[in-house]
Every structure is written in C-alpha cells, then in structure tokens.
C-alpha cells in the first residue's frame, strides 16, 4: 500500500493510481497544489501493485547504453520558430503519426489554468503538445491508454519529464518494441495552483480571458524575446523571464515540487530512448551555429532512439562532431543535476495561500532598477552585445507570451 510519509519521495506521476485494479487510489491535491496518492484503505487488499510501479521506490528495468550527443535544428524555420528549441520533437511526432501511431504529450487545458497529458493522432494536433509547459501536467489515465495501444500493435511515442517516463516504464512492466519514450531535460515543476493563481491575476489585470499561452515565444529570438503586439484584435502580453513574476519564482526554485530537489530520474535513469533539451552556449564551441533561432540538444540513449533519429534526420541540420557527454552536461547541467532547495520555499507556499498574487510577487521577486534596465536594453536589442563584451558568451533570456481577447 502506497503511503506518502515524505513528500520528496513522490513525483505525482500517478502510476500507482493507474496500476490499481480495485481503483481504490486517487490523486488528491495538497495545500501547495501538488497531487499525491490517497488510498481508500477499506477497499485496498494490499496487493503491492502500487508500490511496484513507484519511480521513487524502484529502478527502471532497462539496460543503460552509451549516449550519443547531437546538436540539431529543424530545416523548416516555421517549425523551429514555434518550438522551444530546435524543433526536433515535431519531426519525431510527425513520423510516428505517419506510421499510424499515437503521440502523448503535455497540453494546456481549455481554460489555460493547468496542463494535462493527451494523446494525438493527427498533424494538426501536434501544435497542442509542442513546446515547454512550465508547470506539472496531470497524466490522467495515459499509462493505461498507452498499454492498450501497444497491445493493439500501434506505435506509441510518449513524451514527458524523466519521472513521468520512469513511471510509465515501471507501469508497463515489460518492454514493447514499438514504444519510443522521449524525456526532456527538466528544471523541475511548479504546482498548478500557483499557475492558476497567476492566470487569475493576469485576467484581472488585463480585463480579459487568456486565449493561449506560449511559455517560450521566439518573436525576438531564442535567447532574447521582445514585446507584445496586436493582430486581428488578439492582444499579446509579454514579459521576459527575469521580469515575469511567475518565471522568477520558477527560476529561483521557490516553488518546485519537493521531489524535484532530489530527482531520481535524471541522467538516463528514466529509461527514455531519447532526451531533448536546449543546447545553451554551444555557440561558444561552434560560433557558426549562433543564429538565435533555437538549437536542440539530442541525447540518443538506446538503439531504438538512434533508429528513430535516423528515420527523421533528413528534416534537420545536425552534427555530433566534437560533441561529448561532458560538453552536454556543461552546457545544460539539468541533465544530471537537481535544483538546490531554496530556504524561502519553507514559507513561500504558506504565503501563496494567504496573499494575493501581486503581494506574493512583491515579497519574493521584487523588481529592481537592474531588472528594469536589463529589460529596456533587451527590447532595444543592446543586451546581447553587452553580455558578449563582459562574459564572452550569451546567457539565455526567455519569456512568456500570453494571447488574450478583450
């Protein structure tokens, strides 16, 4: 029987819920807005299925192979522009759908207050699961559906955070040759309650309902994003990551799930065939790659992952020349490293439940003159050059683009 005594030992993947044949486990939201399993003990027969699929208790049943490192960008600039980094996921998803397969990924809910995993089977639907979602997605019964599709002989690509992939692998209990798992290089996840509180604050501020959310808009480039604009009565609201309060809370690690500070699924432990992320600062090694449109780091962790990559490689410009695991880890340490626990987290979520979002923001991420100056220089297109002079490299600055209607 699953009993959560230490919240840092639960990722919220829900594998335990989906493995219970008696349906006596449900995911319940705690005071911070994170979901944890709750067992109806009068119904439970203590069969142990739930414990056998927990990614915090068990190791993923896979043989760890040598990882190949690639730097990749999609040849279609439109796809790359609409992707978080180099556009690799879109090509992988399109190929699986061409093979009459199913693709699972995270999408925003209809009201944009939460994220949820969904299954897509058409090219048009890929847009819903493309791009980063900076909050924890609910998996629902997607592990159950994945198993059903696999048993029907359908090809399945399942994308998610490392802990979600690890939970799926443990839930399935056996390897399926027509399953491809893709995880992302993960910073950690904030709660849906915090994001919903921010959405409520923004809708009051804008006096409008939010129509869509793009957490990684590239209007002014992959590293530096610009101001909003109006088209066909659709208003776009934009803030850089360092001036947007939600992003500041996320980047400062005030608000991550407890398990994210002690992640047991990083560095290949999830069992994913392919790992995707941003190849930050690779241009310091290969200056010719610096076009500011997005570069993907692709880690091929299995022969199955390598086969799929070869099948879609014609869509990309790609290189593995001079690339190594050491360089990849240097350019994106989140491959193997959990975020440090912020001491302010002890009070942050208590304040979240007591304070309006505006006051919460002023307390934890107050705007300074330096922040305002940096935003001004970025919007003027000057910050990149200043950083190059002072640091010899470029630090990514990304933002959130929210579309709303009056």
Tens place of pLDDT per residue across the chain (406 aa):
888 999 999 999 999 999 999 999 999 999 999 999 999 999 999 999 999 999 999 887 666 678 999 999 999 988 988 888 889 999 999 999 999 999 999 999 988 899 999 999 999 999 999 988 999 999 999 999 999 999 999 999 999 999 999 999 999 999 999 999 999 999 999 999 999 999 999 888 888 888 888 888 877 777 654 333 222 346 777 887 778 889 889 989 999 999 999 999 999 999 999 999 999 887 777 777 778 888 999 999 999 999 999 999 999 999 999 899 999 999 999 999 999 999 999 899 999 999 999 999 999 988 766 666 666 666 666 555 555 544 444 455 556 655 555 5
Provide the pLDDT for residue 224.
Answer: 59
CB neighbours of 327 closer than 8 A, spacing ≥ 6?
69, 282, 285
| End-to-end CA separation in angstroms for the chain | 50
Of 337, 332, 338, which Cα lies nearest the Cα of 297?
332
> What's the CA gap between 395 and 15, in Å, rounded?
37
Of 309, 319, 333, 302, which Cα lies nearest the Cα of 66?
302
- Regarding pTM above 0.85, the answer is yes
Report how far Cα 357 is from the mean position of its chain's Cα atoms. Answer: 23
Vertex 249 angle, CA 108 and 401, to 5°: 45
> What's the CA gap between 137 and 150, in Å, rounded?
22
Please give the DSSP secondary-structure letter assigned to residue 282.
Answer: G
Element (H, E) at 104: strand 102-108
Strand ranges across the sheet with 230-231:
209-214, 399-405, 234-240, 230-231
> What's the CA gap between 18 and 283, in Å, rounded?
44
Provide the pLDDT for residue 364.
Answer: 94
The neighbour count for residue 36, using CB atoms within 10 Å, is 17
Provide the pLDDT for residue 394.
Answer: 47
> What's the CA gap between 92 and 97, in Å, rounded?
9
Mutual orientation of helices 369-379 and 383-391 as an angle, nearest 10°? 110
- Cβ–Cβ under 8 Å, residues 399 and 241: yes
- For residue 14, the SS3 value is coil
β-sheet bridge partners, residue 68: 300
Provide the pLDDT for residue 104.
Answer: 98
């Amino acid at each position: 029987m699953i009993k959560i005594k230490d919240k840092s030992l639960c990722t919220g993947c829900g594998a335990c819920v989906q493995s219970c044949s008696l349906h006596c486990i449900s995911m319940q939201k705690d005071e911070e807005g994170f979901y944890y399993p709750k067992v109806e003990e009068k119904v439970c027969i203590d069969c142990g299925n739930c414990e056998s699929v927990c990614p915090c208790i068990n190791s993923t049943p896979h043989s760890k192979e040598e990882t190949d490192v690639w730097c990749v960008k999609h040849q279609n600039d439109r796809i790359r522009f609409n992707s978080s980094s180099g556009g690799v996921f879109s090509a992988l998803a399109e190929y699986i759908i061409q093979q009459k397969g199913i693709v699972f990924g995270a999408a925003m809910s209809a009201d944009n207050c939460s994220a949820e995993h969904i299954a897509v089977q058409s090219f048009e639907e890929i847009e819903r699961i493309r791009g980063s979602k900076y909050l924890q997605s609910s998996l629902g019964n997607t592990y159950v559906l994945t198993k059903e599709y696999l048993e029907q002989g359908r090809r399945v690509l399942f994308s998610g955070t490392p802990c979600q992939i690890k939970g799926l692998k443990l839930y399935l209990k056996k390897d399926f040759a027509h399953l491809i798992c893709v995880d992302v290089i993960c910073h950690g996840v904030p709660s849906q309650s915090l994001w919903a509180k921010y959405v409520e604050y923004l809708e009051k501020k804008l006096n409008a309902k939010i129509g869509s959310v793009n957490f990684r808009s590239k209007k002014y480039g992959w590293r530096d994003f610009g101001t909003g604009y109006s088209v066909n009565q659709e208003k776009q609201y934009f803030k850089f990551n360092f001036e947007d309060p939600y992003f500041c809370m996320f980047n400062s690690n005030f608000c991550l799930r407890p398990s994210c500070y002690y992640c047991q699924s990083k560095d290949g432990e999830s069992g994913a065939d392919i790992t995707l992320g941003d190849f930050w600062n690779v241009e310091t090694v290969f200056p010719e790659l610096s076009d500011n449109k997005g570069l993907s780091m692709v880690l091929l962790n299995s022969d199955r992952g390598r086969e799929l990559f070869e099948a879609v490689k014609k869509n990309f410009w790609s290189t593995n020349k001079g690339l190594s695991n050491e360089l990849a880890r240097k350019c994106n340490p989140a491959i193997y490293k959990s975020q440090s626990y912020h001491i302010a987290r002890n009070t942050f979520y208590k304040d979240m439940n007591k304070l309006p979002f505006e006051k919460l923001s002023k307390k934890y991420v107050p705007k300074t003159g330096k922040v305002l100056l940096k935003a001004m220089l970025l919007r003027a297109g000057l910050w990149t050059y200043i950083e190059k002079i002072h640091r010899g490299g470029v630090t990514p600055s990304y933002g959130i683009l929210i579309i709303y209607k009056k």
